[in-house]
Structure 1
Amino acid sequence: MTLPDAPPPEDSTVDESALLGGRVRLLQGRDGYRAGMDAALLAAAVAAKSGQRLIEAGCGAGAVLMQVAARRPGVALTGVERDPAAAELARRNAVLNDVKDRTSIVTGDVAAGPGPLAIPPFDWAISNPPFFDDPDALRAPSPGKRGAWMADDGLAAWTSFLLKSVKDGGRILMIHRADRLADILTLLGAKAGSFTILPIQPFADAPAKRVIVQAVRSGRAPLRLLPPLVLHDRSGAKHTPEAEAVLRGEAGLEF
């Protein structure tokens, strides 16, 4: 890997081993949102092939895109991010991880849709949207994290962006709260189908807190509900062996 020519911005740090067992290095804002397990799981669920094109809505500093790049050589990556500082970090991370030649980061607002970007439809459209859209019900823990926590234009703006970004037969992939599954299926179901749902459970005996939903634009196959991914057991280990393999990049999530 080659480092960017300029030093990191003063308000960022470099995590050299936090993602995919050290295969991905990431500049992140010191006080804002920092990539975690959701980003790793979303990237692990992408099965794009070399030569295909993928867009991420709300890419932040590029944590998902950089992990997809490491897992899927030859896939062309585009990220859309409304925060100029985060978008610039994503561009720097593409240089840091030697994928600048197949990565494009666009400063734009998901609420405006993909039309202003004037980009042809993609093979894949993915997102880890903000999990909340009611500022009266939940307040982000810090101003720097508000954009990652709160969807100002609601979940519908994010699903609409994904639907409009992908070609017929292309795949839409998102991770979200399990209690929003019905909303996700309704919103995506207007133009997509062939749903596959992967529940993410904190423990085998606990309800799912997250779901990864894959849909195919214009798809008509029956819905499939996969066996859950269980993140932890009661042995005291940080993760189950299956989850650890995914987080280290040794395995993917099969859809």
Structure 2
Amino acid sequence: MPTTLLGGRVRLWQPVKGYRIGMDGALLAAGAAGMLAERAKRAVSALELGCGVGGVILSLVARCPLVHVVGIERDEATFAVTQINLAQAGGDHRAILGDIGAGYRSFDLARFDLVLSNPPYFDDPETLRAPHELKRPAWIADDGLQAWLDFAQAAVVDGGEIMFIHRADRLGDILSGLPKCGSFVIRPIQAFAGEAAKRVLVRAKRLGKAPLRLLPPLVLHDNGERKHTPEVEAILRGEVDLGW
């Protein structure tokens, strides 16, 4: 079924059943756009690991027209929808059918200025109620989170950046799993103010040396009549990027 993002600036097809871009993907694209806004206005390359139907790719391009994006997706049915969405959007952005677990060297790719990902959140299918079979690839990382971290480190240029959104309780694994990176910046994501963060956006630089920075949390919902806080509503409409 067709979906619009960023106030109608992005149009894409998504399955009725199966993985669909949600809040985590929207925040990942907004965070990547905010990071790229810090750079000089020049063309940059970005790689998304596990690109799904292309929602993050297309959102990032809509926010940053100078970025050239490549996505990798292993599910053939999802990949077919991605191809339709990229063709509909135009440009020379592309997706590759392949498995992150095979490792970066199995792909004939140059390294990228930015590697970003919203990887599956669970390594062990026994840790959660079995998801719908069409959603399983998006929820279960068969090769584990470390395979995604290793791929990202190998695929980014020296001085380039990596950005992941993941469960807050895996933050330690992310930090220790990127030994070639530094200059970490972490933004906790809270459902409501005063609650523990359940998600984190993590930004890292390959060979970076700056001290780790922990930013104020992004709060998704308020306790009033709005579904989201004003800041998050502006991000979802594409009026602002997620700053660092």
TM-score norm. by structure 2 comes to: 0.95
Deviation per residue, 1:21-55 (Å, 9 max, x gap): 11111111221111110010000011335411000
2:160 paired with 1:174: no
Corresponding position of 2:2: 14
2:175 aligned counterpart, secondary structure: helix
How far apart are the structure 2 equivalents of 1:121 and 1:139?
37
Which of 116, 130, 145 is the matching residue for 1:126?
Answer: 116
1:34 and 2:2 aligned: no
Does the 8 Å contact 1:39/1:128 carry over to 2? Answer: yes
Higher relative contact order (CA 8 A, sep 6+): 2
Aligned to 2:224: 235
Q: 1:225 aligns with which of 214, 229, 235?
A: 214
3-state SS of paired residue (2:14): strand
Question: Per-residue deviation at 1:89?
Answer: 1.3
1:245 — aligned with what? Answer: 234
Superposed CA deviations along residues 119-167 of structure 1, whole A, max 9, x for unmatched, are 1110000000001111112133200000000001110011011011101
* 1:14 CA drift (Å): 1.3
What secondary structure sits across from 1:231 in the alignment? strand
> 2-side partners of 1:207 and 1:50: how far apart?
38
Letter in 2 for 1:109: D
In structure 1, how many angstroms separate the alpha carbons of the residues matched to 2:106 and 2:196? 40
Are the counterparts in 2 of residues 50 and 73 from structure 1 also a CA contact under 8 Å?
no
Give the equivalent residue in structure 1 for 2:189: 200
Distance across 2 between alignment mates of 1:97 and 1:207: 38
Moved more, 151-160 or 137-146: 137-146
TM-score, scaled relative to structure 1: 0.91
Question: CA RMSD for the aligned pairs?
Answer: 1.1
Contact 1:194–1:223 under 8 Å retained in 2: yes
Residues 50 and 72 in structure 1, CA contact (< 8 A), matched pair in contact too: no
Distance across 1 between alignment mates of 2:226 and 2:107:
45
Instruction: Trace 1:1-255 onto structure 2 (pairs within 5 A).
Output: 13-15=1-3, 17=4, 19-46=5-32, 47-48=35-36, 50-99=42-91, 101=92, 103-188=93-178, 190-255=179-244
Deviates more, 1:86-95 or 1:166-175: 86-95
Give the aligned length. Answer: 238
Report the Cα distance in structure 2 between the residues aligned to 1:104 and 1:166, rounded to whole angstroms: 18
For structure 2, the 5+ residue unaligned runs are none
